[in-house]
Structures are given as C-alpha cells and as structure tokens.
Amino acid sequence: MEIRVIERVLKVNDELALEVRNRLREAGITAINIISAPGSGKTALIERAIPALRDKLRLGVIEGDPDTTRDAERVAALGAPVTQINTSGGCHLEANLVLRALDALPLDELDLIIIENVGNMVCPVNFDLGEMWRAAVVSVPEGHDKPAKYANLFRKTDLVVLNKTDLLPYVDFDMAVFEADLAQLNPGVELLRTSCRSGDGMAAWTAWLERVCGESPARAPG
Ligand SMILES: Nc1nc2c(ncn2[C@@H]2O[C@H](COP(=O)(O)OP(=O)(O)OP(=O)(O)O)[C@@H](O)[C@H]2O)c(=O)[nH]1
Ligand SMILES: [Mg+2]
C-alpha cells in the first residue's frame, strides 16, 4: 500500500518536472540541480560562480532549505536574481516548488538557473526537478566513503565535485578509494576537485557550467 502511495507521488512529480523542463526550454534556459549533504559547499560554489560568469552567462539561482533565507541573502548580495524555497522541514525539493519558484525569476533575462537542493544525500535523488544536469558535491571532511555509502546519488549525477580540498592535509581521506568507488558506480563521470577557500578548481567549475549551457539544447530530447 505504502509503495503505491510513493509511486503516485513520484508520478505527479515527474509530470510537473516535465512542465518545468518545457518552460525552461521555451525560455532557452539550462538548469542544474546541485545535491549534497548539508555544508559541503553548494552555496559557496554558487558564490564563486556568480562573479566568474558575470560577463559570460546570465545566472539565476533557486535556493532550497528547510528554513531561513540565509543562502538566498548570500546569493543576492552578489547581485544574482534568486528565489528561496523553504520546505518547512521537508528534506528535498519537488518539481511543484520549482515551478512556483520560476514565477519569481526574470526568465527572459537568464541563460542558466542553478537549483541548490536541500542539504541531503538521500531524499532529493529520486525527485526530478526538471533540470537538464545534476551535480553532486561531497567535501573532504565528510570522508572518502561517501560515494559507496550514498551510491544512488553518485550513480545518477553528471558531475561530482569534491570540495574543500584545502582540508586534505588535516583529515584521513583516501583519494584512491574515493576514485575507485566512483569509477565503479558511475564509469567516466566527470570529477572536479575544488576549494572554495583557496580557489583551486574554480576555473574548471565555471568552465563546466559554461560547457553544459552550450550543450543543453542538443541534450534535451523533444
Ligand atoms: N575550508 C573550506 N571551507 C569551505 C569550502 N567551501 C565551503 N566552505 C565552508 O563550509 C561551510 C558550509 O558552506 P556552504 O556553502 O554554506 O554549504 P552548503 O552546502 O550550501 O550548506 P547547506 O545549504 O546548509 O546544505 C561554510 O562555513 C563555508 O565557508 C572549502 O572549499 N574549504
Ligand atoms: Mg547552502
């Protein structure tokens, strides 16, 4: 019985995600869904991308959090259009929330929307938000075992960002195990090593954003 209920929720979500995707396509906008545990650096990566892309892409942001507008305030301080979704305790974003958030963004003035999901490595994975691309972020202090333990997220992502590499000297992070687990789960997945603190890998991160923006029309099936 419970399984049927969950299937129904996902079906409704998928229909609304299609509506989001169609609306974005009509507006010529690429959308990226960023998923990670709380505190991995999702907002920090967005903060780094905003000034770097300023003269190249028109970037808007949808922030998802259970409570507060703090992430939206960080993004707005850098001058990017942003809207905050509060899930009131909910552990993931759903397409109906994103659909409403689109109404609060100037779609005709944007090329790219980054959707920052609620900090959680499990719940957001099964909910299509209408995005064209997914990025999974994991940070060094969380440990090298995260891909293996949260396999579903790492199987279903286009990009993996390993953030906080500036902390590598201070924690026991086995890069070989991390890379081997990732290769097994998602062969050939792109991996970026970044530090929002030192700036390492930031050029590759913003280059990835630019590249997927260019590739999205070809990728999106009718
Ligand atoms: N040392 C270090 N700290 C970082 C780095 N990236 C982010 N942080 C810090 O990590 C903390 C969390 O960063 P956020 O960007 O807020 O993380 P988040 O994933 O958006 O967190 P939630 O929205 O709560 O899920 C902040 O104190 C950041 O300054 C990094 O590369 N190195
Ligand atoms: Mg955040």
Q: Give the list of residues 6+ apart from residue 45 with CB closer than 8 angstroms, or none.
A: 34, 137, 161, 163, 194, 196, 205
CA distance 199 to 194: 7
Residue spans per domain, the chain: 2-140+201-216
Burial class (CB in 10 A: 0-12, 13-18, 19+), 7: exposed
What ligand 1 atom has the least distance to the C-alpha of 63?
Answer: 23
Alpha helices in 59-116 (DSSP H): 70-76, 95-102
Q: For the full predicted model, state whether its pTM sits above 0.85.
A: yes
Among the bound ligands, the one closest to the CA of 137: 1
Contact (CB, 8 A) for 162 and 178:
yes
Q: What integer pLDDT is reported at residue 222 of this predicted model?
A: 42
Q: Name the more confident of 221 and 171.
A: 171
Contact (CB, 8 A) for 116 and 62:
yes
Q: Residue 181: name the closest of 152, 148, 157 by CA.
A: 148
Q: Find the 99 Cα to ligand 2 centroid distance in Å.
A: 20
Q: Find the 75 Cα to ligand 2 centroid distance in Å.
A: 10
Q: Find the 221 Cα to ligand 2 centroid distance in Å.
A: 30
For 63-95, the pLDDT digits (tens) are: 999 999 999 999 999 999 999 999 999 999 999
Q: Which residue has the least CA distance to atom 7 on ligand 1?
A: 41
For 211-221, the pLDDT digits (tens) are: 999 887 655 54
Q: What integer pLDDT is reported at residue 211 of this predicted model?
A: 97
Q: What integer pLDDT is reported at residue 10 of this predicted model?
A: 82
Q: Which residue has the least CA distance to atom 25 on ligand 1?
A: 38
H or E element that contains 133: strand 133-139
For range 97-116, the mean pLDDT: 97
Architecture of domain 2-140+201-216: 3-Layer(aba) Sandwich (3.40)
Mean pLDDT value across the chain: 95
